[in-house]
Chains A and B, each alone.
Chain A
């Protein structure tokens, strides 16, 4: 009798353990399928309530934890939309506003906002006013953080081209204790040479070097790459004009231009592809989609694609 009962128990144990293992594997596999079916569900749910104050009250004192959850969702949202090459980021502003209302001291959220809320689509959400509001809100809580002034000045400079305001903000930031000496230089630079390539390169390099956030750094790399193309195209275009004045015709190819201008080699873009010359003498980039922020070197009627990030600096 006793051995029979033991056998029964053993059988039950083996069956239950087997069932548990099979179920666990099945659950993992099914979850992967479910994720594929509904990849965007999280954000839709997250923004069902989009009033920051309401969420702060509903968090019943766990503001910090909620802020972390919303910050994770913000990054996920941006990542998903970016991966899908979406042209809009409509929920980015409310997500950042919720995050910073829950935790006004979460600096990465402000930096993220300055980088991706202000730029025009497809590079960002195209909401510079909300980006400025977010940064001013951040400064009101963190007046001693020079990074926030830098980011705000950056929005005025890159998106609104309001160099006077940018200079003002950099000046304000330079007075913060322990502010980077660079802030003072930027304030002066804004007042004197706001629109030139050097200033832009200085700003993007500083952004790259002062941020630890991967998306922000990649965005800076992308701008630096595009700046190099803009600079190259500007100088090559000047060479085309000079060639025309000298010979009375347009160069037949970029190689002819390089030879005539005594360049060491055929000029190439940051990816190593040679620049091209159109029949009308316009200098063009071979793959403009690889440089989402370029303002020169694109064929007429070209519509920019959403940016795809590179991980290495080209200069």
Chain B
């Protein structure tokens, strides 16, 4: 990583962790993980299941909200405050600015996930009084959640490179919802015929496939996850992120900032 990208990423990270909204969201996620203990107690024999499901869902949902709400403001805020001009007047390329912003936000989300994961494991330990080997699957689920965040970050940046913060949030959140139903969309494409089939297939492959990254239920049920799935999901998330970031760079490179 070039030193310029590193500096932009560090500054983005610092700026993000100063945001109070971030702490509120993390607090909510931790609270939900804690609440899972009580919900687990009133549901017979599925305490662990509830803690893992509710805890990981909280990590995923609040992380997505953080990714979207910080991601959409990364470019527009800099333009609004006119700090972007100061940055770009130095020997910093526009693509370096976008990539730096991405790494800064991704770093913030990894740190957030780490703290939220401590909450989930804390709740799990409270319920089970020990950790067992299948609990390692929760780490895999958390890793997939982080991959999901990378995709969301890149999408938020892509939309924020050409649109207003509000519209960017709507676009990014809509894609998150559509991406969660990606497998159904592909199922629908399989049932369709002719031109509809082509369009549906193209759309199904273009939207991010979040359903493959969602293994919360499998982790809760202690179902083994293959190393092939981990490898393929990792590569998929990296390529999708690269694709969205390239799009953001292409748009931002041509954007009139006057």
Contacts and interface: CB of A to CB of B under 8 A. Distances in A.
A12 interface: yes
Contact of B246 (A19, A31, A33, A37): A19
A85 B247 CA distance: 44
Given A37-B232, A72-B184, A13 B243 contact: no
Contacts of A30: 232, 235-236, 239
Contact of B250 (A17, A35, A38): A17
Contact of B229 (A9, A13, A28, A38): A38
A42 B191 contact: no
Given A26-B239, A42-B184, A12 B95 contact: yes
Contacts of A37: 226, 228-229, 232
A42 B183 contact: yes
B212 interface: yes
Given A24-B243, A45-B214, A13 B250 contact: yes
B236 A45 contact: no
B211 interface: yes
Which interface class (under 10, 10 to 19, 20 to 34, 35 or more) fits B?
35 or more
Nearest to B213: A34
Interface in A1-55: 8-9, 12-13, 16-17, 19-20, 22-24, 26-28, 30-31, 33-35, 37-38, 41-42, 44-45, 48
A206 to B, nearest CB: 26
A34 B209 contact: yes
List the 3 closest pairs (A to B, CB-CB), nearest first.
A23-B243, A20-B246, A26-B239
Interface of B: 93-95, 181, 183-184, 186-188, 191, 205-206, 209, 211-212, 214, 217-218, 226, 228-229, 232-233, 235-236, 239-240, 242-243, 246-247, 249-250, 253-254
A16 B249 contact: yes
Name the prevailing secondary structure of the B interface residues.
helix
A42 B211 contact: yes
A48 B254 CA distance: 47
A23 B212 contact: no
A35 B249 CA distance: 30
Interface residues of A, number: 31
B253 A17 contact: no
A26 B233 CA distance: 12
A75 interface: yes
Contacts of A33: 228, 232
A30 B243 CA distance: 14
A73 B184 contact: yes
Interface in A90-120: none
B170 to A, nearest CB: 17
A90 B222 CA distance: 21
B239 A23 contact: yes
A8 B206 CA distance: 29
B229 A34 contact: yes
B235 A26 contact: yes
Candidate in B93, B187, B228, B235 with the most chain A CB atoms within 10 angstroms: B187
A20 B247 contact: yes
B242 A35 contact: no
Contacts of B94: 12
A261 interface: no
Given A16-B253, A37-B228, A72-B188, 7 more contacts: A9-B253, A20-B242, A20-B246, A28-B205, A33-B232, A35-B186, A37-B229
A48 B253 contact: no
A74 to B, nearest CB: 11
A72 B187 contact: yes
B250 A41 contact: no
Contacts of B187: 42, 72-73, 76
A69 interface: yes
B183 A72 contact: no
B249 A12 contact: yes
A48 B94 CA distance: 46
A9 B255 CA distance: 12
B253 A20 contact: no
Nearest to B235: A30
Name which of B229, B235, B236 has the most chain A CB atoms within 10 A of its CB.
B236
Nearest to A70: B184
A235 to B, nearest CB: 42
A18 to B, nearest CB: 8
Contact of A17 (B186, B191, B246): B246
A26 B242 CA distance: 11
A212 to B, nearest CB: 14
Contacts of A20: 242-243, 246-247, 250
Nearest to B98: A16
B191 A31 contact: no
Contacts of A28: 205
Contacts of B226: 37
A55 to B, nearest CB: 15
